[in-house]
Amino acid sequence: MPATGIVYRSIASTALGGLALLLCGTPANAQSVWSGTISASYNNSLNWVPTLVPNSSGEAALFNNSLVGSGTVDLGGATVSPDSWTIIGLNTFTFQNGTVSFSNSGGLTVGGTADQNIGVNLDARAPAFCSA
Interval 82-101: pLDDT, tens:
999 998 877 778 888 988 99
Quote the pLDDT of residue 81. Answer: 92
Q: Does position 120 have pLDDT exceeding 70, yes or no? A: no
Print the domain residue range for 90: 28-111
Which residue(s) pair with 95 in the sheet? 73
Does some domain include residue 117?
Answer: no
Does residue 106 contact residue 84 with C-beta atoms inside 8 Å?
A: yes
Does some domain include residue 47?
Answer: yes
Does some domain include residue 33?
Answer: yes
Which residue(s) pair with 20 in the sheet? none
Note the pLDDT tens digit of each residue in 64-83: 877 777 788 999 999 999 99
Instruction: Report the Cα 108 to chain-centroid distance in Å.
Output: 11
Quote the pLDDT of residue 1. Answer: 47
State the Rg of the chain over Cα.
Answer: 21
Does some domain include residue 123?
Answer: no
Closest CA to 98 of 81, 118, 86: 81
Domain count, the chain: 1
Does some domain include residue 132?
Answer: no
Q: Using a pLDDT cut of 90, give the percent of the chain over it.
A: 31
Q: What is the mean pLDDT of the chain?
A: 72
Instruction: Report the Cα 94 to chain-centroid distance in Å.
Output: 18
Q: Does position 48 have pLDDT exceeding 80, yes or no? A: yes
What is the mean pLDDT of the segment spanning 21-32? 53
What confidence tier does 19 reach under pLDDT thresholds 50, 70, 90? very low
Which residue(s) pair with 60 in the sheet? 31, 84
What confidence tier does 33 reach under pLDDT thresholds 50, 70, 90? very high
Q: What is the pTM of this model?
A: 0.66
Helical (H) or strand (E) element with 110: strand 108-111
Give the ranges where the chain is alpha helix by DSSP (H). 2-24
Does some domain include residue 13?
Answer: no
Closest CA to 85 of 73, 68, 77: 73
